[in-house]
Structure 1
Amino acid sequence: MKRKPSILAQLTIGFTAILLFVMSATATVTYVQTSRSSLNQTARLLLDSITHLSGKLDANLIEYDKMTQVLAFNEVVQKHLSARTNPGSYNEELIRVMNASNRTSGHESNIMILDRYGSSYLANSSMDFLWRSLEAVQKQPWYDEMEQYKGRMLWFSGLVWVGGAQPAVIGARSLNNIETLENIGTIVFAYPAITLQKTIGQMNLGKSGKVQVVDSFGRVVYSTVWDDVGTPAPSVLLEQVRKVPSDMITLNTEDGPAYISYAYSEYSGWTVLAYIDRSEVYEGVSRLQRTILWISIVGLSVGILFITFYSWTLVRPIRFLAKRIERIDEGHLLPVKRQLWNAEVSGLYDSFNRMLARLQQTIRDLTDKQVSERQAQFVALRAQFRPHFLYNTLNTIYWTLEGKRDAAAAAEMVQLLSELLRYSIQPGSEMTTVREDVAQLRRYITLQKYRYGERLDVELDIDEELLDCRCMKLLLQPIVENAMTHGLEGVKRDQWKIRIRIQRDGRDMVLTVDDNGIGMSEREMKEILSEDAPQRNKPLHTGIGLPNLQERIQYIYGRSYGITLSGNEWGGLRVTIRIPIDPDAGSGKEVP
């Protein structure tokens, strides 16, 4: 027979699995919530920083915008560019005004004015433009959009010459006559893109993070990674910017997945971007996750130790009692004296001790009173039957608990067993009512259902008029126990069926128990109830309780009553008990 795991092992494994599930679920929820909170906080801080940075850039650009606007409305500029004839390519007074405006920028820059006749005028600066003629300017991709701005400043990324081509911030606007609003030229202002470094400053975005400024044409004006300047920004990102002016999105970059916060400027059309690697965002969360993992490992280890100890304290008393019951056959009848902390197990021990005391008293009474051989034989049978009953029932609890991890269910099973023992060893008359004996049977069936679950199907069909009639104690339980042990447990079926009926037949009460077990042959049915059956001399804990029950029935009610065996429609065994409804109809004997 395959060895089954112990209750201790199952309780330990079960509680450990529950603890592991709870701790894993808690750790997972904590990690998810912390990650979400960290991401939200990072997004909020980045967005605030980027929005503030975009505002600073706008403030600088607006200052340059005002400077070129003042220059455009200057009397010298208006007079020179509004001339009806070509004024020529050089005007000292105009250059002087341009130089004065250029010095207000506070850093290296340059201004170029182109009139409508194609002449260009440059302020004195070490910076020069790559295009100097009106024709060259008109071929630039930004020129048509500048004209649509109708005098407003258009800011974009470009190149200027400072000892070589260098990235620059360039602004251009149409120059109109202040009185007629007629277009009289173009003003272009430029300064090195590296100057934006002072405005943007330093942002802590981790090792791989960066800040970019992208113009309205989708080109990078400035980047903390200088190689990015002048390159086109990702088209996916630009599409998102057109939908939502400021937000945080996820984008797969060359360095891996990154979070990008951005803010769009309505004034300049520029977008400020902040890239931060996902690993940088979750760095703190990862540290927290490792801490939670170590705490979980320590907590789980301590929990397993506690669970093992707690499970052992629950199982140890039951194991000890089971061993003591096994030793009853060897004549060990000393009561158990142990300090117990569990009320249900304590009640079970008390019932066991009372059973032992009663058993010892029965033996003493038989010795002292020297009762008749018939009475002595019956008392011995009853004394044997009760330990056998307790042993079988305890085994039922023991193996039922193998599949359970519910302490409440265990408590209920122990309580049921205590009530079963109390009923079986209660002193007094051997007679009871059908109602009480059926209640005892229901307790036994409940215990068996805890063990076998839905596999066991028990049907009760009882004539309620017979519930208050008297009958001998433990009339039904041994029959059902015999059906379970010898009829059903040896059969591999998905459903075990037991049907119990109590009906009136004239002046008799007929009790039948059917099962769909292995059944018996005609020869076995005859041999098991015969007076010289070999099972009568075997110990009762083999489970053969029918001969003993037959003898009890016939001793109380007479030889005309008792047990008959037959087959049934399920292919199993039918046990029929016939007793008189009026106890006086039998021998009328009471058992001490």
Structure 2
Amino acid sequence: MIARMSLLSRWLRQRGLAVRQFLFLFLVTSLLFVLLGWINWIESKKLWEEQAASDAQALAGRTNQLIDAYLDNVQNLLLLLATREDREQLLADGNETWATQALENLERTRNAVARSFFIVRQDGKVYSNSQVFYDIMGNPHLEKLYELSQAQYGAINSEPYWSPLSGQSVGYVQPIYGKTGQKLGIAVAEIDLQLLTQQIAQLLLSKNQSFAIVTKKNNVITSLQIPDRLLPYEPGVYPPQLQSGFVRKLSELPAGVSPIDGAIGPLVAVKTSPNRLGWSLYLFIEQQYFDQHLLKLYEKFRYIALIWISLLLISTYLMSRYFTSPVRKLAAKMDRVRDVEVLSPLNVNREDEIGRLAHSYNELLERIQQLLQETKNAERRKKEYELKMLQSQIAPHFLYNTLACVSSLARQRKTDEVRDTIKSLVGLLSFSFDKSTEFVTLAEELEGLNRYAQIQQIRYGDKFRLLADVEPAALEARMLKLTLQPLVENSIFHGLAPRKAPGTILVRGRITARGTLRLTIRDTGIGMDAAQIRRVWEPDGRPRSRQRFTGIGVKNVHERIRLYYGERYGLRIASRPGIGTVVRIEMPFEPMPEGVREAFGPMPLDS
């Protein structure tokens, strides 16, 4: 039946709108005729559950209290025996009579809780309150109970079994330990299930109801001498036993109210949650008992005509909503498309034209999001690749020329100049090769620029002066490493070196009102015309000068800034032949979290 309904539902989802509209109208009209039966079923079920739950809650509470008190008495008796001060002497060899008398005294104070008591020593010796009967009939279950106690430390109970001395019973076991912790044996009490059943029956049994207590292993605890009429029992078996198939069905029932077939007809079974011993109480109530509550439902028949008209109007409205709502949702979803990265797909549970349209929309959205992610990953890889390439291009000829200068100064015995040049070279190389981060503070960038200028001044003498005018707050700005050095290098080689007279390079830094960091590099070199400025931005493929510190050019600095901060940031160049060149850099002002080095004001950056 379920498979057919699944096939029918799948077939219906695959039909067009016209077919589904016709079927919808037909089914709505047909369902109105079965509305009365559906209402009766819902109301009846509600009444059954309310009545059964109310009765079961009160009865189960009193029953569980009775069972707990019953078993607490057994446990207290066994604890009394297991914690005796003379328990080690009691279980010693030669004290059999003493041990038997102790069990007989325990049996006389049992208050009809247990029928038999035993002590099983470590060596297998057994004492009983009815030692004579035990010696004759024995008890094969004691060995199993002893094995059961080996796996647990505290008191335990067994599944029900037939005892030669106690009849249908449950063994309650309490290990006995010596004062030093060694195990001496176990104390066993066989519970009187017949008495337990009779006491529970006084609470639960009535003309229209019955009960059963079942362990977690589907063994029945209750032991009635006379079977009741509601439950199915095995024929010709004494004492009466519930049919195994019926017990198996009970184990499959959930906690709460459920229907089940009994011996004389349908029953309502109320199952409680397992108690501390894993026993579940089942209360069975005859279904006819609830029929008296169904008479009130017949009064609802007079309102069926009004309900029929109302439902017809409502179903017409719902039909319109059913076909138009998905289209409106899809249109609204598409109207809200602004950021496809955070837009969630549509929930699709249809296979008609609307469902296919929604599927196409979801696939399109997924593809766009995938392409965006791929583009972002490609950009990220591009940035990493370009930065690694740019920062690894330390020109070897710069090192060669600098070391040649150091050698020349050494031959001239200019010790101070040699020391300062080597110190600047080491600091500059450490600054350039540091791979821990791609970012530095403006103060650190200026410090590296100062070391570079000191090395070049050793070579060119007083050919140029490098000045800095940076406001203290700007020194904390976070920026890309080796941003200023390539621009100052261009000013030295292309602006000031061709001049005969000395020149000046001024580095200025300010934080604008818009929250951006503006850096300008102004030189008094030979300047450039418009054609030369255009060639600065065009990659010409020509090799860089061997005198350069790195292979990073003006265009590379501009692209690095735009890759990291966006298209609105970067470099601007203005120049006039014979006057000089100005390069302006703009980037967002972001303070470095770790702090910066000590700021310095306008001053010559000589060594």
| Band the TM-score falls in, shorter-chain normalisation | 0.3 to 0.5
Higher CA-based Rg = 1
TM-score under structure 1 length normalisation: 0.38
TM-score under structure 2 length normalisation: 0.37
